[in-house]
Amino acid sequence: KNQVEQSPQSLIILEGKNCTLQCNYTVSPFSNLRWYKQDTGRGPVSLTIMTFSENTKSNGRYTATLDADTKQSSLHITASQLSDSASYICVVSRLFIMTTDSWGKFQFGAGTQVVVTP
């Protein structure tokens, strides 16, 4: 079964501190892995996208890593800010190949709820 598991379910960190979120997946065949940030009551916003050959990708204070062999990814938040309070969702794309096209089917994790306190 194609699954995406995230941990922890939630965490609270002090402003200025670092934190790391984990994502394990069993999706196959693998196309790419994405991390999204979702503010309360809003739609998700893409942070990073990594394909099989990439093992790290940064977007400002967000750094994602990917180990395609162990099917694990992490998202590291450096020097957290109050605005980082959100749900962070790991999404893995399955690859479908047709005779004339190819596309990805997305499998979403349940997200990690991050709360940054002053």
Partner 1 sequence: EAEVAQSPRYKITEKSQAVAFWCDPISGHATLYWYRQILGQGPELLVQFQDESVVDDSQLPKDRFSAERLKGVDSTLKIQPAELGDSAMYLCASSLTTSALRHIQYFGAGTRLSVL
Nearer to partner 1, 61 or 103 (CB): 103
What is the rounded CA–CA span in Å between residue 33 and residue 25? 10
Closest CA to 93 of 36, 31, 5: 31
| 95 touching partner 1, by CB under 8 A | yes
Query: 82 and 116 in contact (C-beta within 8 Å)?
Result: yes
Cα within 13 Å of Cα(51), Cβ side: 3
Nearer to partner 1, 17 or 105 (CB): 105
Binding flags for partner 1, 53-92, as an x/- string (CB under 8 A) = ------------------------------------x-x-
| 46 touching partner 1, by CB under 8 A | yes
Both tokens of 25, joined, read: 């997946």
Sites of contact with partner 1 (CB under 8 A): 4, 31-32, 41-46, 49, 51, 89, 91, 93, 95, 101-106, 108-111
